[in-house]
Amino acid sequence: MIIVLDASAAIEIALGNELSAQFKKLLQDAELIIAPDTFISEVTNTFWKYRKFAQFTDEVCLKGIEFCLGLVDDFASSTELWKEAFLEGNRYQHSTYDLFYLVAARRHHALLLTKDKKLNEIAIASGINIFSLK
């Protein structure tokens, strides 16, 4: 199984939150874990917010970012995904940041692993397999 990992799921694992164990198990069983290269900036920005608003230390944030990046086997180039992400954003009236993951999942016939409920709904509507949050 191929998995497209989104930043919200990676951070869930890094922080050991509620779905962490289930997400880890899926990743362990995956043949390949992919993320669009936008994943790097999303994860970095999220940990910057934790540093700023939750007083995480620089060390904790840097380790968290490195951990998340280490979960991914291969990064899909956003230069190859942007047009479809833009069109899907228009179609679903949703942030194109999220739709880079959807497009990557569709192109690789992959399971999309995200904590984002709206993205999961869009993925289902698009015929993309997801991990059910229920």
pLDDT, averaged per 10 consecutive residues of the chain (134 residues), comes to 97 95 95 98 97 96 98 97 97 95 97 95 94 70
Question: Is residue 12 included in any domain, yes or no?
Answer: yes
> First and final CA of the chain: distance in angstroms?
21
Strand partners, 126: none
Question: Is residue 132 included in any domain, yes or no?
Answer: no
Question: Is residue 134 included in any domain, yes or no?
Answer: no
Question: Is residue 75 included in any domain, yes or no?
Answer: yes
pLDDT for 4 equals 98
Question: Is residue 133 included in any domain, yes or no?
Answer: no
Question: Is residue 131 included in any domain, yes or no?
Answer: no
* Measured distance CA(37)–CA(66) in Å, rounded: 14
Query: Strand, helix or coil at 126?
Result: coil
41: domain CATH number is: 3.40.50.1010
Domain that holds residue 36: 2-125
Give the residue among 133, 2, 4, 7 at the shortest CA–CA distance from 81.
Answer: 4
* Pair type for strands 2-5 and 32-36: parallel
Question: Is residue 37 included in any domain, yes or no?
Answer: yes
Question: Is residue 52 included in any domain, yes or no?
Answer: yes
Order across the sheet with 74-76: list the strands. Answer: 74-76, 32-36, 2-5, 111-113
Indicate the number of domains in the chain: 1
pLDDT for 133 equals 65
